[in-house]
Structure 1
Amino acid sequence: MSAATGKGNSIALDVDVLVLGGGPAGAWAALSAARRGATVVLADKGYCGTSGAAAASNNNVWYVADSNDYERHFAERHASGGGLNERAWTDALLANVVGRLHLLGDLGYPFARKDDGTANYATLRGPDYMRFMRQQIRRAGVTVLDHSPVLGLVRHDGRVTGGYGIRRDGSTWRVGAGATVIATGGCAFLGGALGTDVCTGDGHLAAAEAGATFSGMEFSSQYGLAAAFSSVTKGLPFMWASYSREDGSEIPVVDDEAFVSVARVLIDEPVFATFDRANADVQRWLRSGQANAFLPFDRMGIDPFRQRFPVGLRLEGTVRGTGGIRLAHTDCSTDVPGLYAAGDAASREVIVGGRSGGGSPNAAWAIATGAWAGEAASGFASRQRRVASSRGVDAAGWPAYEEIAIADPATAREALRSDVLPPQVNLFRNEARLVQATKTLDAALTQPVAADTKLAAARSARALVYVAKLAYRSALERRESRALHRRSDYPQRDDAAGYRQVIGGIDTLTIARETVNA
């Protein structure tokens, strides 16, 4: 690894693999690449080990030790996900995750124990898990750049050759790399769910500018149920919830997702819930396994198992939705040579279809795709060493920071508040609402940015609006209702529309249809 000192505390590095994002997918990518002998830099928008959705709560993992069960797990999600997932991806994921979790145990992670004394590989405690992963990547020799959001990628001779960003003190960082992994998480559109404040689509925008495409973006309308006074959207306790209006009349849950039934009423009036369907044993189990979900209730002096509490919705977008960067192959490569994607930044259609991957599938996806991407990026970088390369930090192609595409943060937030966050626009969709929302988003990109606006904030504002446009443009194109995508003007599922939508572009978005592999 070579290093040079720039102005002030600015950094310039040249490595084999650059990983963008410090959540579970990024940590697994960095660890896997380093274990293959690659030199690695990981740049995180926050502090690697504490930032992001995974570090904020428990992580249930899709852990299936018996391969005879693969077909059942695939079939369940094939039906609920609109027939858009693939058996080959599912099998590969489930098989890989078992080995990775066992490796985690071999490295010393203290898994909880079952009643029979064996390790419970299906549960990871978020704060412990991510602190442990930070320790492992540091021990493996990975250079970690905390509080260093990415601003863009660099291409040379048709491939991605590194990335650049800014640090908390305003200095810059540039990393030339043989291969780059985007693991910056999904985009939650500032919906307010715990841990998603850093999930603003920065990696999506950078990937798109480099030429990557996306799929499943119409399935971005996932909302999380929470107490109105809380940001914790853990869904498990709500499995034992009853819902009512302010006058006490019951609200029946008629959809597969409770948040949809609640949203229909919540648009016009308050909704209340009680976890009154949980018996004493379930109550103890929930409090033990989902401790952070009950902290807000304890602070308010509310017993949610016996007292009603007001309910709210937090838009989780593509964090618990399923859309993201399209993966061209099971090595997690994208459409652009030298660029890989992992975790929530990548589309999960291949394993869950158009339904939410929230919870155990997404946790397993982060582990498997992070490891796959890190290994493949290491191999790609190794091959680049054997050919003429100009990836280095002194090579041509680094843009001037003042030329980076940005947007006004305040205007972007207002556009999200009016046309992306409300369920009446984003959850219960129709053409008129989607068209008007798209116009609002387009207008947000034309507002001037104040001279004193921080570059990272202005870049994230641009990314938030861009990802919202991807979602709405894809939603307009799919003229049916399927899985998470609901159109009131096209309420039925179209059996002829069992394809994936691949969308790309920056100023002009184009959509193509992709066949789902049998």
Structure 2
Amino acid sequence: MPKTATAVRSAPEGLHLAADVLVLGGGPSAAWGAVAAAESGATVVLADKGYLGTSGATAPSNTGTWCVPPGDNRHTVVERRWQRTGELADQRWMLRCVDTAYRNLLKLSEWGYPFPSEDDERLYIANLRGPDYMRFMRRRVLLAGVTVLDHHPALELLSDGDAVVGAAGVGRQVEHDWRVDAKAVVLATGGCAFRERILGSAGLTGDGYLMAAEAGATLSGMEFTGKYTLAPHGSSLNKGLPFRWASFHREDGSAILGPTGEPLRNGIGDREEEVARALIEGPVYARLDQAEPALQGWLRQGQPNCFVPYDRAGIDPFSDLFRITLRAEGTVRGTGGIDIVSDDCATGVPGLYVAGDAASREIMTGAVSGGGAVNSSWALASGWWAGKGASTHARRRGGKAFRNEVRPLGQAGLRPAASPRADIAATEIIEAVRDEVTPLDKNFFRSGAGLEKSGERLESVWRDVRDHLQGEGLERIRTREAASIAAAGRWSVAAALHRSESRGMHRRTDLPGKKLSLAHRLVINGVDDFRIAGASERLAELAS
């Protein structure tokens, strides 16, 4: 019989639980982390900003995985992928990931997940239908005895001065505060989409980044936020695959030309740059006229939600021109996040672990996007490692009481450094950040001068957040999200300015080439007065 969390106090005063492991988040990495910890014998609480099973970018998607079966070919596949990562990924981590992800895909099959069969009746385990997958994982989490707190966003971590010992937040629907005392915490809170309108991004505001940094953890890869995905104009559908078979046109119907003067075809991958340049100049239209009839049927069957916006608008995308845009995806399909310092996804802060998009994926994808497949396998693997690591840490603590008085760590958006000001609103803060980190001419194409200006503006925004932004009751959710978005934007721009080269999705128009001296990760340490160092320097600090 699975062990369950202990109630310390319940409503009306607020919810207070105690457990071995607390998982924050509601996507696949959170679910895998909770299951791994519970199967290791830990009592586990999972607190999600939304509803476990529908939260995050995976739930509304049809996502592939980086599925590489065991064998001699595995090293070849990893080596080939590594060649595309801008020399920043680590092949040992990549091999660990494909191995653990493959074993967890087999676990899904053993547990009864309904994978489709191929023509030879073998199960096709490389693809996961987001809604089915996350609904299945919710059941598995509950079956493991995990206490699930839906609609309970975390606002801050708790510390006893030596280690992270839990978290606190507010129940969105019940409108009371909650606290979970835990011997270890797994941050699986996802990336930061900077409030861009993309599928599953509403709750992806970088909360985990700020909480981790306040606890003393570091971040890396924050400069790699230049991933954009094509979408129908006015739609949140950031599913770029069909645009592989598109032609592109200006508002007057003339064809957009590629780098060698031919009409542009296939707008994903390297050709996104041509589309981005055209979009900076004016409206751009597309038509999926490169897809043969048989392929059109396959696309509709394999990616049905891609065609909902067209069908609702009465557009046949294979024959009609329709307006498009590029949606910024921040660190969701970017790379940056909380730095990992050990194989069990520890952060370097005792008691704090990280998984999924909340973690930096540089060790997996380097300077390029992990897209859906690599990021999906990373969630399968890192969630498992973090859950196991957190449960091991909890066992080591045993029945020890907290060494000192527990204190909350949250600052910006919760406890302003100066007096609160009513004229500083969360919505305005978020829009000010978006103005610097989502426009194509500032973030897709970057320059030193532009980054310096954006950095100055974001420093001004941050001062307002740090000194004056505060909410009461449920409004604390919004102010804390605004603070997290502001922090993530500030770190992203500062790291981009520090990386004085072009590498992967980090494109400097003033510095177009790669520098051998920058073939390493940039690690950010601190919140208010932060500094940026090379990964080797940070490791030396930890060793000392």
TM-score in terms of structure 2 length: 0.91
Could you tell me which residue of structure 1 aligns to residue 265 of structure 2? none
1:413 counterpart = 2:430: yes
What is the distance in 1 between the residues matched to 2:188 and 2:409? 22
Q: 1:250 to 1:299 in 2, by over 3 A?
A: same
User: Is this contact kept in 1: 2:31–2:138, CA < 8 A?
Assistant: yes
The structure 2 residue matched to 1:424, chosen from 414, 424, 441, is 441
Could you tell me which residue of structure 1 aligns to residue 356 of structure 2? 343
Classify the secondary structure of the residue corresponding to 2:164: strand
> What are the Cα deviations for residues 61-93 of structure 1, in whole angstroms up to 9, with x where unaligned?
110114323333323332322111111111111
CA shift, 1:240, in A, is: 1.3
User: Is this contact kept in 2: 1:162–1:391, CA < 8 A?
Assistant: no
- Unpaired stretches in structure 1, ≥5 consecutive residues: none
Q: 1:401 to 1:5 in 2, by over 3 A?
A: farther
User: Is this contact kept in 2: 1:148–1:167, CA < 8 A?
Assistant: yes
Could you tell me which residue of structure 2 aligns to residue 122 of structure 1? 126
User: Is this contact kept in 2: 1:244–1:272, CA < 8 A?
Assistant: yes
1:380 counterpart = 2:393: yes
What is the distance in 2 between the residues matched to 1:219 and 1:454? 31
What is the number of equivalent residue pairs in this alignment?
A: 514
CA shift, 1:246, in A, is: 1.5
The structure 2 residue matched to 1:390, chosen from 381, 396, 402, is 402
Classify the secondary structure of the residue corresponding to 2:94: helix
Could you tell me which residue of structure 2 aligns to residue 285 of structure 1? 298
Q: For residues 211-250 of structure 1, what are the structure 2 equivalents within 5 Å?
A: 211-250=216-255
- Unpaired stretches in structure 2, ≥5 consecutive residues: 260-267, 417-423, 540-544
User: Is this contact kept in 1: 2:168–2:179, CA < 8 A?
Assistant: yes
User: Is this contact kept in 2: 1:405–1:462, CA < 8 A?
Assistant: no
Q: For residues 122-141 of structure 1, what are the structure 2 equivalents within 5 Å?
A: 122-141=126-145
Give the share of equivalent positions with the same residue, in percent. 45
Q: 1:495 to 1:135 in 2, by over 3 A?
A: same
User: Is this contact kept in 2: 1:327–1:341, CA < 8 A?
Assistant: yes
Could you tell me which residue of structure 1 aligns to residue 483 of structure 2? 462
Give the partner amino acid of 1:35: E
Could you tell me which residue of structure 1 aligns to residue 47 of structure 2? 43
CA shift, 1:260, in A, is: 2.2
What is the distance in 2 between the residues matched to 1:376 and 1:485? 33
> What are the Cα deviations for residues 402-448 of structure 1, in whole angstroms up to 9, with x where unaligned?
98347731221221332111111111111221121122222223444
The structure 2 residue matched to 1:437, chosen from 443, 451, 454, is 454
The structure 1 residue matched to 2:73, chosen from 40, 44, 69, is 69
The structure 1 residue matched to 2:309, chosen from 292, 296, 302, is 296
CA shift, 1:400, in A, is: 8.8
User: Is this contact kept in 1: 2:187–2:354, CA < 8 A?
Assistant: yes
User: Is this contact kept in 2: 1:274–1:305, CA < 8 A?
Assistant: yes
Could you tell me which residue of structure 2 aligns to residue 143 of structure 1? 147
Could you tell me which residue of structure 2 aligns to residue 264 of structure 1? 277
What is the distance in 2 between the residues matched to 1:508 and 1:294? 46
Q: 1:211 to 1:451 in 2, by over 3 A?
A: closer
Could you tell me which residue of structure 2 aligns to residue 510 of structure 1? 531
The structure 2 residue matched to 1:171, chosen from 146, 171, 176, is 176
Classify the secondary structure of the residue corresponding to 1:194: coil
User: Is this contact kept in 2: 1:500–1:514, CA < 8 A?
Assistant: yes
Q: 1:486 to 1:462 in 2, by over 3 A?
A: same
What is the distance in 2 between the residues matched to 1:337 and 1:72? 36
User: Is this contact kept in 2: 1:77–1:85, CA < 8 A?
Assistant: no
What is the distance in 2 between the residues matched to 1:481 and 1:503? 19
CA shift, 1:250, in A, is: 2.1
CA shift, 1:303, in A, is: 1.1
Classify the secondary structure of the residue corresponding to 1:56: coil
What is the distance in 2 between the residues matched to 1:283 and 1:391? 63
Q: 1:304 to 1:193 in 2, by over 3 A?
A: same
Classify the secondary structure of the residue corresponding to 1:132: helix
What is the distance in 2 between the residues matched to 1:376 and 1:290? 36
What is the distance in 1 between the residues matched to 2:413 and 2:434? 28
CA shift, 1:252, in A, is: 3.8
Classify the secondary structure of the residue corresponding to 2:19: strand
Q: Which moved more, 1:142-151 or 1:400-409?
A: 400-409
CA shift, 1:277, in A, is: 1.4
> What are the Cα deviations for residues 128-153 of structure 1, in whole angstroms up to 9, with x where unaligned?
10011001101111011111111111
> What are the Cα deviations for residues 226-275 of structure 1, in whole angstroms up to 9, with x where unaligned?
01031111121111111111222222455843332211110120111111
CA-atom RMSD, angstroms? 2.1
Could you tell me which residue of structure 2 aligns to residue 201 of structure 1? 206
> What are the Cα deviations for residues 485-508 of structure 1, in whole angstroms up to 9, with x where unaligned?
011111111122111111120101
Could you tell me which residue of structure 1 aligns to residue 34 of structure 2? 30
Could you tell me which residue of structure 2 aligns to residue 363 of structure 1? 376
Give the partner amino acid of 2:302: G
What is the distance in 2 between the residues matched to 1:269 and 1:350? 37
